[in-house]
Chain A
Amino acid sequence: MGLINNIKSYSETISLSTEKKGLLNSFLENGFPTIKDEDWKYTSLKRIISEDFSIEKNGNDIDSSEISKHSLSFKNQLIFVDGELISSPQINGVTISGYTDFESRNNDAIMNLNASLCNNGFSISVAKNTVVEQVIEILFFTTTENNFSQYRNQIIVGENSEIKFVEKIQNLNNSTSFVNYFTQINCDKNTNVEFNKIQNNTSNSILIDNVDVYQKDNSTCDVNTLIFGGNFTRNNLNFEQNGNNCESNMNGVSVLDDNQFADNHTFVDHKSAHCRSNEMYKGVYLGKSKGVFNGKIMVRPDAQKIDAFQSNNNLLLSEDSTIDSKPQLEIYADDVKCSHGCTIGQLDDEALFYMRSRGIGVEEAKAILTYAFASEAIDNISVSEVRLVAQKLLADKLNVDLDFSL
């Protein structure tokens, strides 16, 4: 197989610690997950890993116009080009550095690979009692052709602090790129963290994005995932609630066409009492696109009085599009509120007629209704500028001509 061989021969050229060697060997023994693994049942990596990705980086310099073209123009920017941190903001109470090694508790095959080979990424540490008003924009650019890269990031938020992020991974050439991405977020007591992911990469980009969030008492963490681009996207989003009165919010929009594929895998581990989790994932599938949603909620015996809600609503707008949706609830506490709902449907005829009777053509009406359906999951983004960008991207993808200035 192409990629495994490349990984093997690359690893022989570098020196690794014993521990990392162990992780790598464990990966090499088992290889990438296959559809025989329950967590990858609907998501095949076979085609991807047969390709000949290079592990070495040999990127080109890019000029600032390329960066500004893809940037959301926030003041605080953290910019990486082929793994190298080229720009980082100065913010009071926030320490930002490049890659720092850290251990993760997550040790599936892909995480092991990431932990062993990765030497790029960021580390952000927010001091206690720090409220960062302005959103931090994180941009990862790839210029290397046919590159397989690993990123490993850590965010540590101290007690009573608040911070918000928006992140984009952007391939700057026409070749395929494959990114194995991992971010671990530690939310201390009374923190409020929002992480927005704009996944709008080029049409031949492949992404496996892992996010692990660990929460302590009275913390709130939101992760919003907006998938418009890319060829293959797999998001593993894991929340672990280790304190009372935590809140975990997940919102996601996937709007896919042609042969795009996107898979949102979420896992909420309710370990403590009086916590909440909310998930709202919306999918719109056109062309031959395919979506997967797998939402697992685990309620441990000590997690009494929790309230967990999950919804996954999908519109299949073409004959050839598909969605596999799988809620998984495991409940071991007896005084809890857990609910989930999954819908798969088409557009509402009554609403279509209503719009057409106002003179809106049938195609435009369909596009607007689709927009309206999907945008609900965007409404929860608290940063208005990010929300606006997301709305525009959604409208563009659906060919809706809406004026956001009104």
Chain B
Amino acid sequence: MLKINNLKAGIEDNQILKGINLEIKAGEVHAIMGPNGSGKSTLASVIAGKEEYEVEGGEIDFEGVDLLDLTPEERAHKGVFLSFQYPIEIPGISVSNFIKTSINERRKIAGLESMPAKNLLKMLKEKMELLSIDKGYLSRNMNEGFSGGEKKRNEIFQMAMLEPKLSILDETDSGLDIDALRIVANGVNKLRTKDNATVVITHYQRLLDYIIPDFVHVLYKGRIVKSGGKELALELEEKGYDWITKEADKQWV
């Protein structure tokens, strides 16, 4: 589904990603871990198309198309979804109106009519149940005055509504208490199918107790320095990052 090949990107003159290679197949869950400042969020932003990052080389092949040639909205239309580490507050637009606009913009591009209100409401209700969200939430302004946990839940709610093929969850666990974490993880798990894939970016092993990854990658100084199965995350929890980063520092001095 996704094949990242030697991706180099940065901001102004500062190269952050120094040659990322990653392949993700449909049905898989990949976890990307790594110490602060290793480039995890940059990778997520570059895949989603944030314009302030400059791509210096490489490609991001998504189902045969290079995402780097597409605008952020075109990437979303192809089925890429980024759950933001810091979701943006948009006063004046209700959650329901925002989601409706997102869905219908995509349908318009696909040559479809707007989703009938009845279907939309039914779908909203279903997904709200999935994430234990109460009804009053739909008429609240987008992320305005939301707690950290509510914002993250709202991200996953949008993901549930937009049904993306590739979801990138950037530090979705930060700001969540354990109950909210369980609800969100449960939602993500229920949304998994054999046709979609999930990338979980996280600092901590904690989230991976609930969303079990097929692969774990360690990102350090803009490179994936180690990949393994889910047991790698446990090992990191136990031993920290030092044993990997020391080795990596030797290799790329």
Q: Give the B-binding residues of A (Cβ under 8 A).
A: 348-351, 353-362, 364-365, 368-369, 371-376, 379, 401-403, 405-406
Contacts of B91 in A (CB 8 A): 372, 376
Q: Does B187 contact A (CB under 8 A)?
A: no
Contacts of B76 in A (CB 8 A): 356-359
> Would you give the shortest CB distance from A162 to chain B, in whole angstroms?
27
Identity of the chain B residue whose Cβ is nearest the Cβ of A353 in the assembled complex: B50
> Would you give the shortest CB distance from B115 to chain A, in whole angstroms?
11
CB contact between B73 and one of A360, A372, A406 (< 8 Å): that residue:
A360
Classify chain B: how many residues form its interface, as a range.
Answer: 35 or more
Contacts of A353 in B (CB 8 A): 48-51, 72
Question: 17 A-B residue contacts at CB 8 Å?
Answer: A349-B52, A353-B50, A354-B84, A354-B88, A357-B48, A357-B49, A357-B76, A358-B81, A359-B73, A359-B105, A361-B105, A368-B90, A371-B92, A371-B93, A376-B91, A403-B97, A406-B94
Contacts of A351 in B (CB 8 A): 88, 90
Q: Are A361 and B73 in contact (CB under 8 A)?
A: yes
> Would you give the shortest CB distance from A405 to chain B, in whole angstroms?
7
> Would you give the shortest CB distance from B123 to chain A, in whole angstroms?
12
> Would you give the shortest CB distance from B14 to chain A, in whole angstroms?
19
Q: Are B87 and A354 in contact (CB under 8 A)?
A: yes
Most interface-central of A355, A356, A358, A365 (chain B CB within 10 A): A358
CB contact between A403 and one of B49, B52, B81, B100 (< 8 Å): that residue:
B100
A368 to B52 Cα, complex, angstroms: 22
> Would you give the shortest CB distance from B182 to chain A, in whole angstroms?
25
> Main SS of the interface on chain B?
helix
Contacts of A356 in B (CB 8 A): 49, 71-73, 76
Identity of the chain B residue whose Cβ is nearest the Cβ of A348 in the assembled complex: B88
Q: Give the A-binding residues of B (Cβ under 8 A).
A: 48-52, 71-73, 75-77, 81-82, 84, 87-88, 90-94, 96-98, 100-103, 105-106, 109, 117, 120-121, 138-139, 158, 162
A-B pair count, CB < 8 Å, reads 91
CB contact between A364 and one of B87, B101, B103, B121 (< 8 Å): that residue:
B101
Contacts of B51 in A (CB 8 A): 349, 353
Contacts of A349 in B (CB 8 A): 51-52
> Would you give the shortest CB distance from A398 to chain B, in whole angstroms?
11
Given contacts A356-B49, A357-B72, contact A406 B102 (CB under 8 A): no
Q: Are A360 and B102 in contact (CB under 8 A)?
A: yes
A357 to B166 Cα, complex, angstroms: 13
Q: Are B102 and A358 in contact (CB under 8 A)?
A: yes
> Would you give the shortest CB distance from B99 to chain A, in whole angstroms?
8
Q: Are B97 and A373 in contact (CB under 8 A)?
A: no
A9 to B92 Cα, complex, angstroms: 51
A181 to B79 Cα, complex, angstroms: 55
Given contacts A359-B102, A361-B73, contact A406 B96 (CB under 8 A): yes
Q: Are A372 and B100 in contact (CB under 8 A)?
A: no
A369 to B109 Cα, complex, angstroms: 21
Q: Are B82 and A357 in contact (CB under 8 A)?
A: yes
Identity of the chain B residue whose Cβ is nearest the Cβ of A360 in the assembled complex: B105
Contacts of A402 in B (CB 8 A): 93, 97, 101
CB contact between A362 and one of B73, B81, B92, B117 (< 8 Å): that residue:
B73
Identity of the chain A residue whose Cβ is nearest the Cβ of B80 in the assembled complex: A357
Given contacts A361-B105, A403-B100, contact A372 B138 (CB under 8 A): no
